Amino acid sequence: MNRNFLMLILLIFLIGICALEQISVSKALGTINSLAVQIQTSVQNSTQINTPDVQQQVENLNTTWNHYENILCFFSNHKDMKEMGIEIQRMIIYSATNQHEEFKASLCLVILYSETFDHFMGISFQNIF
């Protein structure tokens, strides 16, 4: 096979991988952020977080994150992403035991992670230097 052709394939592959990563990261973090903000809105002025509605939303957040984590593991270090999963698991427990202060703290962390993980995932100029 002609070397020039192989190099072209290589270039297309590299561009494709970068594009795929950026799309996956944007979609994952965007979705998690919107779900987390939705939960935040619904529990804002409430001290009852063990309602079926809140628990369902948290479960949905967990399922969604697990789904995206499986995809993001192809592009990012597992260790870098584990914090998100840990906080979501904490939210599940806090919701079940109605620890609303701790729940809201974890929720804030989840929102923070969803807003800042793109500093080391996907295309990030901060990460170059």
Partner 1 sequence: MITIIIRAILVYVLLLFVFRLMGKRQLAQMQPFEFVLTLIIADLATIPMAEISVPALHGIVPLLTLVLMHFIITILATKSQKFSKIISGKPIIVVNSKGIDYTALKTLNISVSDLLEAVRSSGYFSLEEVLYAIVETNGTVTVMPKAQKSPVSNEDLKIEKQESSLPVMIIEDGKYNTDNLKVVTKTKEFFDDILKTNNIKKVSDVLILTIDNTGSIYLQKKDAPSKVINLNLDKVCKYE
- Positions touching partner 1 (CB under 8 A) are 3, 6-7, 10-11, 13-14, 17, 73-79
| Cα dihedral value 49, 92, 97, 44, nearest 10 | -20
Compute the distance between CA of residue 115 and CA of residue 100 in angstroms, rounded to an integer. 22
Residue closer to partner 1 (CB basis): 6 or 108: 6
Shortest distance, CB of residue 97 to partner 1, whole angstroms? 31
| DSSP codes, 47-105 | S---SHHHHHHHHHHHHHHHHHHHHHTTTS-HHHHHHHHHHHHHHHHHHHTT-HHHHHH
Given the complex with partner 1, which of 9 and 108 has the nearer CB atom?
A: 9
Which of 12, 93 has the CB closer to partner 1? 12
Give the shortest CB-55-to-partner 1 separation in angstroms. 31
- In the complex, minimum distance from the CB of residue 63 to partner 1, in angstroms, rounded to a whole number: 22
Q: Residue 27 or residue 78: which is nearer to partner 1 going by CB?
A: 78
